[in-house]
Amino acid sequence: MSQEIAVIGSPDFTTGFRLAGVRKFENVPDEDKDEELDEAVMRTLEDEDVGIIVMHEDDLDHLSRNPRQSVERSIEPTLVTLGGSGGASGLRDQIKRAIGIDLMDE
């Protein structure tokens, strides 16, 4: 079972997670985002130690088609996005996709 959390994004985004103890990260500078983000995502998806990938919601717009589909369909590791306009419903959808049930279903 995968135990590690990995963070992918700009150095500003990953720094807080690194200070909190996250050891796996991929820094993708904003000026190289379109070129390097796809490669960073694919490397992280292939890492068997990673169980959760954390990215900024806006970075998904910079992914090309195949890496985007890979992270959206991935069960393990599970993608968790922060920021952006997804809000609570976006987190609810991520949890539902990860565990297969809607905990808030009435």
Ordered by where they begin, the domains of the chain are 4-99 (3.40.50.10580)
Provide CB contacts within 8 A for 43, sequence distance 6+. 26
Round to the nearest angstrom and report the end-to-end CA distance of the chain.
Answer: 31
User: Per-residue confidence of the chain (106 residues) as pLDDT tens digits?
Assistant: 568 999 999 999 999 899 999 999 999 988 878 779 999 999 999 999 999 999 998 898 899 999 999 998 888 998 888 886 555 555 566 666 666 666 555 5
* Residue 101, pLDDT score: 63
Do residues 26 and 8 lie in contact, with contact meaning Cβ atoms separated by under 8 Å?
Answer: yes
pTM: 0.77
* Residue 2, pLDDT score: 64
CA dihedral sign of residues 37, 3, 95, 99? positive
* Residue 70, pLDDT score: 93
Do residues 55 and 81 lie in contact, with contact meaning Cβ atoms separated by under 8 Å?
Answer: yes
* Residue 34, pLDDT score: 77
What does DSSP assign to residue 100?
S
Do residues 61 and 9 lie in contact, with contact meaning Cβ atoms separated by under 8 Å?
Answer: no
